[in-house]
Amino acid sequence: MDDVHVSLPLARWPVLTELGASPRVSRPEGGTMNDTWLVGETSGGRACHVLRRHRFAARSLVEAEHAVMTAARGAGVPVPAVWPTDTGGAILGYEDRWWTLYAFAPGVQVPRPSLHDGHARAMGVALGELHLALAGVDPEVVPTPAPRRRPTAEELLNEISALRQLIADRAGAGVLTPEDRWADEELAGHARWIGEHGLPEPEPVPEQEIQVLHGDYQESNLFFDSAVRPTRITSVIDWDKAELGARGFEVVRCLKLSLGFDPDLSRAFLTGYRTVAELTGEQLKRSVGNEHARSLRGLWLPQMIYRHGEDRLRRFLAPGGFSTVAERWPAELD
């Protein structure tokens, strides 16, 4: 094990003893917020376990994540097992952080550009099954976030200006990259749109539609039974963003993030979802409108990159400028 792994608390999990004194440890290419390590290796070259150092400082938030995972697993959702520590608990406190060891998820991950209609349909079916399973989970399992005031148009425009100045500072320092230019172009377009149209308000969601959601359902958190001819999702990972919301929100968010609102892929996803769970045209239309309003107020990606130095997120920057959810939504799906 090299020096970067010396501080990992591997000895605290009895299940790792079968891997020997110095199991292979590596860092995955993906991941954005939590630190993860792949531990051990099978004869087929796959990792045996996944060690996570949680981003949350509060243990209660990690416990809430585990509670949602347990409820989902009990309802039939394919969720990786959590291995107990040497004291029998599922969470280890070590070096002022919280740690969990998970079984490695079965199946294969498929990168976003390689997704086809078979993947999209399997994703839709699995999300419908997941929503039905989580419908019976006590909402109190999910921590209630403190209410956040929505920023005004003026506040957003000021923040966009400040972010663009940070990018300009990089240009002045001679370190401007193509990704920085893409980010600046998108921010400039975002500001123009707000200046011309203002900010729409989201539509209230009926209380009976609110339930526990995964919170980050997208291809990077899913494993398929086949990379070429998928029929089902074999595992759903990364439950730390579980939240309360309308099912339509999670559907539209996945269509945007994973499928880029591609008409054919989106149709396959919705067809798969509706074979399992109901989603009316009215619910879908409201969810598209609310995602449109929400995303116009969102500056998370450039803020994380330019204010907090999260360069791992640079891979999500792309050329093409700014466009709204309403502009990108395929009209034929209405």
Question: What are the boundaries of each domain within the chain?
Answer: 3-103, 112-147+201-298
Q: How confident is the model at residue 3 (pLDDT cuts 50, 70, 90)?
A: very low
Task: Output the pLDDT for position 22.
Answer: 82
Task: Output the pLDDT for position 4.
Answer: 46
Task: Output the pLDDT for position 31.
Answer: 59
The rounded distance, in Å, linking the Cα atoms of 99 and 59 is 10
Structural contact between residues 107 and 228, judged by C-beta atoms closer than 8 angstroms: no
Q: In what order do the strands lie in the sheet with 92-94?
A: 25-26, 35-39, 49-53, 97-103, 92-94
pLDDT in tens, 192-246: 999 999 999 999 999 999 999 999 999 999 999 999 999 999 999 999 999 999 9
Structural contact between residues 84 and 38, judged by C-beta atoms closer than 8 angstroms: no
The rounded distance, in Å, linking the Cα atoms of 70 and 91 is 14
Residues 64, 233, 216, 79, Cα dihedral to 10°: 10
The rounded distance, in Å, linking the Cα atoms of 127 and 134 is 10
Tokens of 14: 């009895």
H helix runs in 173-258, sequence order: 178-197, 247-257
Question: How large is the angle between the packed helices 153-172 and 178-197, nearest 10 degrees?
Answer: 160
Q: Which residue bears the tokens 């450039």?
A: 302
Q: Which CATH topology does 3-103 take?
A: Phosphorylase Kinase; domain 1 (3.30.200)
Residue partners of 88: CB distance under 8 A and separation at least 6 = none
Tokens of 333: 């799906």
Q: What single letter denotes the amino acid at residue 239?
A: W
Task: Output the pLDDT for position 2.
Answer: 40
Residue 232 burial by Cβ neighbours in a 10 Å radius (0-12, 13-18, 19+): middle
Tokens of 105: 């998820």
- Closest residue by Cα to residue 189 from 171, 164, 166: 164
For the chain, the C-alpha Rg in angstroms (whole number) is 21
Q: How confident is the model at residue 32 (pLDDT cuts 50, 70, 90)?
A: low
Structural contact between residues 221 and 238, judged by C-beta atoms closer than 8 angstroms: yes
Q: How confident is the model at residue 1 (pLDDT cuts 50, 70, 90)?
A: very low
Q: How many residues does the chain have?
A: 334
Pick the CATH number of 112-147+201-298 from 3.30.56.10, 3.40.109.10, 3.20.20.70, 3.90.1200.10: 3.90.1200.10
- How far is the CA of 30 from the CAs of 2, 204, 206, 219, 220, in angstroms? 20, 35, 36, 12, 8
Hey, do 3-103 and 112-147+201-298 end up sharing a CATH topology, with the first three levels equal? no
44: pLDDT strictly greater than 80: no
Please list the residues that pair with 100 across neighbouring strands: 52
